[in-house]
Structure 1
Amino acid sequence: MQMIIVDDEAHWVDNLSMHKPWHKLGIDHVHKAYSAQEALRILETHPIDIVISDILMPEMTGIELIERIRLRDKKIKCIILSGHSDFEFAKEAVRHQAVDYLLKPPTDNELFGAVESAIAQLNAEWESVSSQERTQYTLRENLPLLRGQLLLDAMKGHRMPPEEWNRKLDSYGLPFCKGDCALLLVRMEEEFGQYRNNGQQLMEYAIINMAEEIFGEFTEVWGVKEEHGYLAFLLQLKEESPELGKESLLEKLSMQLQYKVKQFLKGSLSIVITEWFRFPEQLPERYRHATAYFRQIVGDEREFIIRVGDTEQNVTQGPLDAIYMPPTLMNLLEAGRWEAAEDKLATVFSELDERWSESWEHCMEAGYIIAASFAHLAHRNGNTLVHLLGQDLDSVRNGEAFTSIARLRNWSTGMLGKLKEGTSSEIKDSRSLYVNKVQAFAEKNLHLDVSLRALADHVNLHPTHLSKIYKIETGEGISDYVSRLRMESACHKLKTTDKKVYEISTEIGYLDSAYFIKVFKRQFGVTPQEYRDGNH
């Protein structure tokens, strides 16, 4: 856990943060803030769990600080320190859900007791959030979506170890097991087109329910709408098998579904039924085979029920697998997952070597998808492949890169390295641009709000993201930079102008000159006036 101690009196902050065994309570890091504003800047960029704050500070009271904190995060626990046993202060602290209200100087038992209470409250709240009961409730609420996504992933070829399959089937309440299954693809015909903009999902839901009712007497049914618009149903026979043959049973039930949909929903269906196959290993292959039947056999014909023949495909006519399996190369490049992209290419070329070494068409197919993925990344980043790759793009233009698996492999891996290098350079340039914008804005507007939030708004970034970028590029935190800039500006004005200390204080962003003097002395060991008089 992380904690912050806030007080305008530096000795309180330093003593409480540095000389107490907080680690024994499970506090990993104790931050220090000498004003409420500084505390808010730290809260922007660190996952603070507990705040210990003085109640009377310049610019903002501890109660006002709690109010600001509550707007950002209602789970942070706050403890108030006060030199005044004022009932109104205590009442306000309670109203804002402070864990405790301690009088200065608190004893160690009082202080540690308050922090332990805060930790206990945090643990109880997060345990409640992550409790098994809540998890199970959330799972039940989202069960149809989770079941559907699992089946879609399986049909697309997403692989899982057997134990992971068993765990997911069990946790999702799916009574399927490894073994014989069949797949139905159902196409809703043109009569349902009238519902496309209003009620289409309701029609799909109704058909899925009717299929579960009709097939559910004899089989387990797991349905989902897939990416081509078909309704897909995975079927597995229940233990009490009917006397009717398995293939005949599915055809009979499909006809019944077709008839009932026509009768009650006034629309027609075409249905493709696969042969029985081993689930889950053969599901992606049978799914592709079934969609191919819709394209090649059923076509535009309506109200068909057809069973896919269990014929072996010619090895020279099958589809590529690895290039299309999720996550795709395009998605990996968009996410900047360079090592995973390298692994993806290795898998693609391994398949080409093992299955399609004699097929120029498969090599060309993979090549165009790889090249398109590279172009997409360049265009998403506001660039072009010509600019990034130069003459290396010529072998794609003239088709030379696709003439053999070896040439495609060499071109693809080489270009991936160049894209990674170019993207990394662009990212660094972009970061430098943000740093320059932040520094220029801060230098011109020290007398205004130059908090992390204001700087992030100026460059249109989230505060946490900006803070990380700035730290990576400069090695310095933004709040440290602003504080240093203010002190450097103060020193320059003290040396080169006759302005009053309070005027300089206002010009560099300190509305309370007494607080400015305190910060200056803490930094340089002398007051601003002493600095000016001594010509440091």
Structure 2
Amino acid sequence: MQLLIVDDEAHWVDNLAMNKPWHTLGITGVFKAYSAREALELIQANGIDIVISDILMPEMTGIQLIEKIRELDKSIKCIILSGHSDFEYAKEAVRHQAVEYVLKPPSDEELFAAVETARDQLQAEWANISSYERTQFTLRENLPLLRGQLLLGALRGERLHREEWTRKLESYALPVKFGDSWLMLVRMEEEFGQYRNNGQHLVEYAVMNIAEEILGEYAHVWGVKDEHGYLVFLLQLKSEGDSRRGDKLLEGLMVRLQSKVKQYLQGSLSIVMTEPFQFPEEVPACYRRSVSSFRQIVGDEREFIMVLGEEEKSPSHGTLESIHMPPLLGSLLEAGRWDAAEEKLGAIFGELDEHYSDSLEHCMEAGFLIAAAFTHIAHRNGLTLSGLQGGNTEQLMNGEAFSSISRLRAWSLGALSALRSATANEMNDTRSRYVKKVQQFAERNLHLDVSLRALADHVNLHTTHLSKIYKLETGEGISDYVARLRMERACHLLRASEKKVYEISAEIGYLEPAYFIKVFKKQFGVTPQEYRNGAQTT
């Protein structure tokens, strides 16, 4: 857990932060803030769990600080330290859900007891959030979506280990087993077009309910709508028997389904069903055959029922599998997952070498898809392949890159490397631009709000993201930079102007001159006036 100590008395903060065995309470990080504003910046940039704050500070009281903290994160636990035993202060602290109200100076026992209480409350809340019962409730609430996503993944060819399949089928309460299964694809025909812009999902839900009602008497039914608009059902017979009898039974149920949908929903269905296959290994291949059959055989026919047999299987020369299986190459490039993209290329070329070493067409298929993915990501980043590769693009234009697997492999890996380097440079340039914008804004507006939130709003980034970018690019935290900028500006004004100390304090963003003097002395060991006097005598 992370602890933040806030007080305008620097010696008090430093003593509490550095001289107490916080690790014995499970505290892994202790942060220090000498003002409420600095505290809010630290809270936004770090995962603070517990805040110990003085109640009377310049700019903002401890109670007001708690109000701001509640706006940022309601889960943070706050402890108030006060030199006042005034009942009104304590009442306000309780009203704002402070864990404890501790009088200064607290004994170690009092302070540790307060932090321990805050820690125990946090642990109890997170235990409740992550509890088994809550997880199960959330799972039940989202079960239809989770089941659908799992089936869609299987249709697309996403690979899961057998143990992972077993775990997910049990977790999602799916009565599906490894073994004989059928796929049924349903196309809702043109009569349902009237619902396209109003209630389409409800009609699809009705069709799926009717299908589950009719088929569910004899088979376990697992359905989802796919990306092509088909309703896809994976079926497994409840009673084991000859698969041929299963085909006949399911074919009769499909006729019934067509009839009931026609009767109750006034629309027609076309249906394609596969022959039995082994779940889950053969799901993607059977699904692709079914989709292909709708396109090649059913076509524009209506109220069609077709059961695929051996004669409808794909030609013996086969199709490339790895390039079409998720995650797709384009998705990996979009996400900047360069190592995974290189592994994807390795899988594609491994399949070409093993199964299609003599097929120019398969090499061309892979080449066109790889080149399209590379070109798309280059253009998305304001680049061109020709600009990145120079003369190597000629190999693509004249077809030389597709002439053999080895040449395509060399061209693809070269293009990937060029893209990776270019986008890395662009990322560094983008970070530099953000840092420059932040620094320019802070320099011009030091007398106004230059908190982390204000700076993040200026460059349209989340506070955490901006904080990380700035630290990566400069090696310095934003709050450290602003504090350093203020002190540098103060030193310059003290040396080069005759402005009063309170005027300089306001100009660099300190509303309370006394607080400015305290911070300045902590930084340089002398007060601003002493610094000015020393500068004038040298």
TM-score surpassing 0.5?
Answer: yes
Partner AA of 1:313 in structure 2: S
Distance change in 2, residues 1:403/1:243 (3 Å): closer
Per-residue CA deviation, residues 454-491 of structure 1 (Å, 9 max, x unaligned), is 11111111111111111111100111011111111111
Q: Percent identity?
A: 68
Inter-partner Cα distance in structure 2 for 1:242 and 1:213: 23
Inter-partner Cα distance in structure 2 for 1:166 and 1:63: 53
Q: CA deviation at 1:405?
A: 1.1
TM-score, normalisation: structure 1: 0.98
Inter-partner Cα distance in structure 2 for 1:403 and 1:67: 68
Residue aligned with 1:336, SS: coil
Could you say which residue in structure 2 is the equivalent of 1:213? Answer: 213
Inter-partner Cα distance in structure 1 for 2:307 and 2:495: 91
Inter-partner Cα distance in structure 1 for 2:71 and 2:230: 47
Asked whether 1:372 is paired with 2:372, we answer yes
Inter-partner Cα distance in structure 2 for 1:309 and 1:243: 13
Per-residue CA deviation, residues 195-214 of structure 1 (Å, 9 max, x unaligned), is 11112111111111111111
Gap runs ≥5 in structure 2? none
Inter-partner Cα distance in structure 2 for 1:358 and 1:297: 30
Partner AA of 2:139 in structure 1: L
Asked whether 1:233 is paired with 2:233, we answer yes
Residue aligned with 1:499, SS: coil
Inter-partner Cα distance in structure 1 for 2:500 and 2:240: 95
Q: CA deviation at 1:244?
A: 8.2
Partner AA of 1:405 in structure 2: I
Partner AA of 2:158 in structure 1: H
Per-residue CA deviation, residues 216-252 of structure 1 (Å, 9 max, x unaligned), is 1111111111111111111111126599811111111
Which of 183-192 and 394-403 deviates more?
394-403
Partner AA of 1:255 in structure 2: V
Could you say which residue in structure 1 is the equivalent of 2:279? Answer: 279
Distance change in 2, residues 1:65/1:340 (3 Å): same
The correspondence of residues 388-427 of structure 1 with structure 2, limited to 5 A, is 388-427=388-427
The correspondence of residues 309-348 of structure 1 with structure 2, limited to 5 A, is 309-311=309-311, 313-316=314-317, 318-348=318-348
Residue aligned with 2:430, SS: helix
Asked whether 1:136 is paired with 2:136, we answer yes
Inter-partner Cα distance in structure 2 for 1:155 and 1:58: 63
Could you say which residue in structure 2 is the equivalent of 1:266? Answer: 266
Per-residue CA deviation, residues 407-430 of structure 1 (Å, 9 max, x unaligned), is 111111111011000000000011
Partner AA of 1:315 in structure 2: S
Given that residues 218 and 241 in structure 1 are in contact (C-alpha distance below 8 angstroms), is that contact kept between their aligned partners in structure 2? Answer: no
Inter-partner Cα distance in structure 1 for 2:43 and 2:392: 48
Could you say which residue in structure 2 is the equivalent of 1:246? Answer: 246
Inter-partner Cα distance in structure 2 for 1:280 and 1:213: 24
Could you say which residue in structure 2 is the equivalent of 1:527? Answer: 527
Partner AA of 2:218 in structure 1: F
Q: CA deviation at 1:496?
A: 1.0
The correspondence of residues 107-186 of structure 1 with structure 2, limited to 5 A, is 107-186=107-186
Q: CA deviation at 1:300?
A: 0.8
Q: CA deviation at 1:384?
A: 2.6
Which of 305-314 and 371-380 deviates more?
305-314
Q: CA deviation at 1:343?
A: 0.6
Inter-partner Cα distance in structure 2 for 1:13 and 1:125: 28
Partner AA of 1:321 in structure 2: E
Given that residues 184 and 234 in structure 1 are in contact (C-alpha distance below 8 angstroms), is that contact kept between their aligned partners in structure 2? Answer: yes
Q: CA deviation at 1:264?
A: 1.1
Q: CA deviation at 1:168?
A: 0.4
Asked whether 1:464 is paired with 2:464, we answer yes
Measured on the aligned residues, the alpha-carbon RMSD in Å equals 1.3
Inter-partner Cα distance in structure 1 for 2:381 and 2:359: 34
Partner AA of 2:182 in structure 1: A
Given that residues 218 and 242 in structure 1 are in contact (C-alpha distance below 8 angstroms), is that contact kept between their aligned partners in structure 2? Answer: no
Partner AA of 1:507 in structure 2: E
Q: CA deviation at 1:262?
A: 1.0
TM-score, normalisation: structure 2: 0.98
Residue aligned with 1:281, SS: coil
Q: CA deviation at 1:367?
A: 1.1
Residue aligned with 2:207, SS: helix
Inter-partner Cα distance in structure 1 for 2:206 and 2:499: 80
Residue aligned with 1:253, SS: helix
Inter-partner Cα distance in structure 1 for 2:83 and 2:387: 66
Given that residues 6 and 51 in structure 1 are in contact (C-alpha distance below 8 angstroms), is that contact kept between their aligned partners in structure 2? Answer: yes
Inter-partner Cα distance in structure 1 for 2:315 and 2:212: 36
Inter-partner Cα distance in structure 1 for 2:241 and 2:221: 15
Partner AA of 1:378 in structure 2: A
Per-residue CA deviation, residues 260-317 of structure 1 (Å, 9 max, x unaligned), is 111111111111110101110111111111111111111111111111112453332x
Partner AA of 2:314 in structure 1: Q
Inter-partner Cα distance in structure 2 for 1:314 and 1:457: 58
> Aligned residues, how many?
535
Could you say which residue in structure 2 is the equivalent of 1:452? Answer: 452
Inter-partner Cα distance in structure 2 for 1:268 and 1:93: 67
The correspondence of residues 418-497 of structure 1 with structure 2, limited to 5 A, is 418-497=418-497
